[in-house]
Amino acid sequence: MMRKTSVILLSAATGAALTLFVTQPRAVFMGSSARAATADTYRQLNLFGDVFERVRSDYVEKPDDTKLIESAISGMLTGLDPHSSYMDAKSFRDMQVQTRGEFGGLGIEVTMEDGLIKVVSPIDDTPASRAGVMANDIITNLDDEAVQGLTLNQAVEKMRGPVNTKIKLKIIRKGQDNPIDVTLVRDNIRVRSVRARVEQDDIAYIRITTFNEQTTEGLKREVSNLTNQIGDKLKGFIIDLRNNPGGLLEEAVTVSDSFLEKGEIVSTRGRNAEETQRRTAHAGDLTKGKPVIVLVNGGSASASEIVAGALQDHKRATIVGTRSFGKGSVQTIIPLGSGNGALRLTTARYYTPSGKSIQAKGIVPDIEVLQDVPDELKSRTDTKGEASLRGHLKNDGDEKTGSQSYVPPDAKDDKALKLAGDLLHGIKNSASAAPTPGGDNKATTDKPKAAN
């Protein structure tokens, strides 16, 4: 029997959309050692059954059998790595809604850190961003209920709800002596994943905030609009992936394909060699070969890193900013049948076209640019990255932690954006000795340096 599964490349935070594929059944032949291992596994399952029955019969209050089973499943998955988890039926439905780019909630991308909820990034123009919620904020309480002890999915579920209903968050922020109480009114969150504007009269600036089902179409629309608006004086494109936590694998592939004429975009490799998949580009560069600069930082994760890695390896773009988050794994959503929710299971690592795994290392920019951070924010401008997450998949060689994720709210103070503009205008200095976007990059010998 063939089993239908849904594959996504999850972000470092919550939410993503679905790409469907069908796995082929495999015949399994067991030798004596495999049979012995299987027998031992069944003995362990009997142990689980004994514990389950003891809890049902002897716990001080009558437990809910469904919750016991779900908690056991959740514990098994979260013990594997930071990105595997169990979703009950409602969480699964909510995730499917969110990945379409519209859902009811607050507008924040979050992850779990030390049992508390950490804000990866507020989504632009949502209740969270308007209320001043910031990346790296730690949420300790939801409506006076402690977050400690909740799973990430449970906390996200509590933050979602009907439009126009209120929720109070208690936030710990580095640099602030006392917790901050913020009351937000839930709204219908329409995730506009692509935003664009004209920079310096002749540069097309496109910011991609997440990779959902609408991202590639949004990119195509903005490329066309800006190309027509700027006309013949168009110098090139700046693609801003900073603080983009990721999303759909399929969208990362098609966004990368939008700038490439040929070649591998990404490969995914599971435990077995036959599960390796390679995604390649099709002819047709949306920008018609115009120079491209990609901006990344410590908050750029997963799908963002696939795009940056593909364009960097093909020398199609210059990568500017700080080292990315380093989430180099793929999660598969496995539905468990009607009403039973789904598993979010890490099933593969992904590799850039040159064969590099960025897991727990990140994408190293061609040009590192450190922003000038206000004094009151200096203690909270780094993202620890994948390598700091407990139970993360290990990688060969030195793993990397800590990378700046601050983006100045005013574009005139944005050093990475300014340098990107200088590169597209042909202005070179000691800090910008890097591959020429879209050009012949073979002659470059200078190492990237911090721009001052």
Q: What is the CATH number of the domain that holds 318?
A: 3.90.226.10
Q: Are residues 416 and 310 in the same domain?
A: yes
Residues 175 and 203 in one domain: no
Give me the pLDDT at residue 306, please.
98
pTM of the model: 0.74
Residues 6+ apart with CB under 8 A from 307: 239, 241, 252, 255, 256, 294
pLDDT for 13 equals 47
Distance, first Cα to last Cα, the chain: 61
| Secondary-structure percent of the chain, ordered helix, strand, coil, rounded to 5 | 30, 25, 45
In a domain, residue 405? The reply is: yes
Q: Which residues are catalytic?
A: 302, 313, 327
CA-nearest of 15, 21, 169 to 94 is 15
Residue 75 DSSP code: H
Q: Clarify whether residues 161 and 245 are in a common domain.
A: no
How confident is the model at residue 433, as a pLDDT? 53
Q: Are 305 and 363 in contact (CB under 8 A)?
A: yes
Domain edge (last residue) among 160, 190, 220 = 190
For residue 322, CA distances in Å to 83, 301, 343 come to 23, 12, 33
Assigned domain for 5 exists: no
Q: Do 199 and 116 belong together in one domain?
A: no
Residue of 227, 231, 198, 193 whose CA lies nearest to 212 = 193
| Residue 151 sits in the same domain as residue 227 | no
Domain boundary among the residues 173, 190, 207 is at 190
216 with 182, same domain: the answer is no
Considering Cα of 287, then 264, then 305, then 151, what sign does the dihedral take?
positive
Which helix (H) or strand (E) segment holds residue 172: the answer is: strand 166-172
Tell me which amino acid residue 274 is.
Answer: E
Residue 11 lies in a domain: no
Give the pLDDT of residue 382: 79
Ordered per-residue pLDDT tens for the chain, 452 residues: 444 445 455 455 433 333 332 233 444 455 666 677 778 888 888 999 999 999 999 999 999 999 999 999 999 999 999 999 999 888 888 777 767 777 789 988 888 888 889 998 888 789 999 999 998 999 999 999 999 989 888 898 899 888 999 999 999 998 888 999 999 999 988 778 899 999 999 999 999 998 988 899 999 999 999 999 999 999 999 999 999 999 899 999 999 999 999 999 999 999 998 889 999 999 999 999 999 999 999 999 999 999 999 999 999 999 999 999 999 999 988 999 877 889 999 999 999 999 999 999 999 999 999 999 998 887 676 788 999 999 999 998 889 988 999 999 999 999 999 999 999 999 866 555 555 555 444 333 233 333 33
Specify the CATH number for the domain of residue 185.
Answer: 2.30.42.10
Same domain as 224, residue 151: no
Spell out where 34-115 has E strands.
Answer: 85-87, 102-105, 108-113
Total count of domains within the chain: 2
- Domain boundaries, position 297: 194-329+348-432
